A and B are shown apart, each in its own frame.
Chain A
């Protein structure tokens, strides 16, 4: 039996890994809920967020946690553009075309990033990277605590936005029934752009957190992208609470698996979890029938 302090340490690591998954998965679910589109290039948008933060940080030297919001804004605008000139054009021509479009985007974004910025491994150096919270028996780096706090703050503001503002209500209405929303005077096309923008901004936040905690290169998005898909399937397609719980769960399960069995099992355990959930409850833990 491992020391209790080690277990707490792993718990914190799992929680931060889970936070990245949660930010990714909530963004994917926003887009899916409103547009009924699964964006396979979500991991690449996360990578774009990491690079945006990296370059803004590199040239301005601002605090990376402040830069994160700039990156969220820029990548959010980028997401709106992708929706307007990409996904909007293929809406209604069949689900497969949307899937193929996002596959094409994976190739374009990933390779454009390698072309522009090479595949060297980079890292955003946080000013808190050497500071740790000393709890007597163990140390927790501030960066991990900040990551958890920021994720919570972003999710709370998203919740307030969705429930307390007119635009948020319009978004939720669109996701429930876009025809009825249209009849009530909601501009559905604007809601599509907005949801894609918010989803991309959340991915950018995830990318920045990941880039602060671990080194990255243009291929960083692939695995978190897959894990975000796994999370939304486990949590239930379109369910934001499901994405939060499943995301944290996956992060914790993965990190404890790494500790007890070794790093090789990290991806396999996610897939096993996914298969089990799909067999027992195909709509996911919190999913309704689609």
Chain B
């Protein structure tokens, strides 16, 4: 095989994308030593994980409009465990599992329902979670009371969720290692989502998304696969949240904000919904645009601009940037092997 053939074979394969990603990722901290940029890159990795998790659920035809709920549950659950002496690994995994279980619960309620129901329930769930945590001490005291009346010792600390002020979240690795932690977590998330989409289960997800009735006729167990999609996606979101909380030093009900539910949606749509590269490209572009607007001193304006971007994309670029990038890659590949166009 000569060089041209190699380029043709691998330049358009997804694995070249992974290789490029890993290489760039490993070299990046050597090039960028500035703390501020380091933070932006880590945030980008975080958003890539979060968007990938959202995209996986959308891949099965279920759009969560309150994915921040699972992010926050993962963050709160893991933080509380780590504060109470659990090891970081256990804490992070338990946070993700908790998010996944809550996801399963919501999934069971919504699995029989149409798209908009799921949207309504998840959208409301995230906002109500924020309200509940804001006033958490009241709920925990009430729970303590209930536990005491049925004979169990109800002695949970009412302030354990910190209410509207939030709680301090201790470091799980040293500061310098967060870059690699987020980087490998992100590569793992993307790879998991890639393998899943290419597997038999991924085909089931796509079949359900395209036509539920036909999928059922072909023998796809719709309830089962929808719930699996929900659990995997919310696990990933909880995992991202469990890593974000310690990196951010503290966690508060802001984690459940509409904004956090909204970011993975706009990122995925910008990149290309239903593709593996979409959330990656989208999170990269939107996060950089977002941070740049922050540097320009915009606060309300940048939220407004995000809304305008989303509306324009839905109207004029519903497939996102991915098709454009694919075209570009194909063009480059065609240029390097001019004699036999692809």
Contacts and interface: CB of A to CB of B under 8 A. Distances in A.
B306 A264 contact: no
A100 B307 contact: no
A198 B106 CA distance: 33
Interface stretch (A135-143, A168-176, A222-230): A222-230
A261 B304 CA distance: 38
B132 A268 contact: yes
B37 interface: no
B310 A103 contact: yes
B198 interface: no
A90 B314 contact: yes
B63 A89 contact: no
A90 B307 CA distance: 16
Nearest to B261: A103
Interface SS, B side? helix
Given A108-B304, A115-B304, A279 B269 contact: no
Contacts of B181: none
A103 B304 contact: no
Given A100-B265, A104-B311, A278-B109, A115 B301 contact: yes
Given A100-B265, A264-B139, A279-B109, A230 B304 contact: no
B132 A111 contact: no
Interface string A104-129: 11111011101100000000000000
A106 B116 contact: no
A104 B318 CA distance: 13
A271 interface: yes
A222 B130 CA distance: 13
A290 interface: yes
Interface residues of A, number: 46
A177 interface: no
Interface residues of B, number: 44
Nearest to A99: B119
Which of B132, B139, B314 counts the most chain A CB atoms within 10 A? B314
B121 A101 contact: no
Contact of A40 (B119, B131, B132, B142): B119
Interface SS, A side? helix
A107 B310 contact: yes
A285 B300 CA distance: 40
B124 interface: yes
Interface in A230-254: 230, 233, 237
Contacts of A86: 311, 315
B124 A104 contact: no
A274 B134 CA distance: 21
B124 A226 contact: yes
B304 A99 contact: no
A233 B120 contact: yes
A262 interface: yes
A179 interface: no
Contacts of B123: 40, 226, 229
B119 to A, nearest CB: 5
Given A89-B315, A111-B304, A264 B138 contact: yes
A142 to B, nearest CB: 31
A275 interface: yes
Contacts of B303: 107, 110-111
A193 B259 CA distance: 29
Interface string B100-128: 00000000011011111101110111011
Contact of B65 (A40, A112, A233, A290): A40
A258 to B, nearest CB: 12
A226 B127 contact: yes
B258 interface: yes
Given A101-B314, A282-B112, A108 B121 contact: no
Which of B121, B131, B269 counts the most chain A CB atoms within 10 A? B131
25 contacts: A40-B123, A86-B315, A90-B314, A90-B318, A100-B265, A101-B314, A101-B315, A104-B308, A106-B307, A107-B262, A107-B306, A108-B308, A110-B303, A111-B304, A114-B300, A115-B300, A222-B127, A229-B123, A233-B120, A264-B134, A264-B135, A266-B131, A267-B132, A274-B124, A279-B109
Given A101-B315, A108-B304, A271-B124, 8 more contacts: A38-B120, A40-B123, A86-B311, A101-B314, A104-B308, A226-B124, A266-B131, A271-B125
Closest 5 CB pairs of A and B: A107-B307, A264-B135, A104-B310, A104-B311, A108-B307
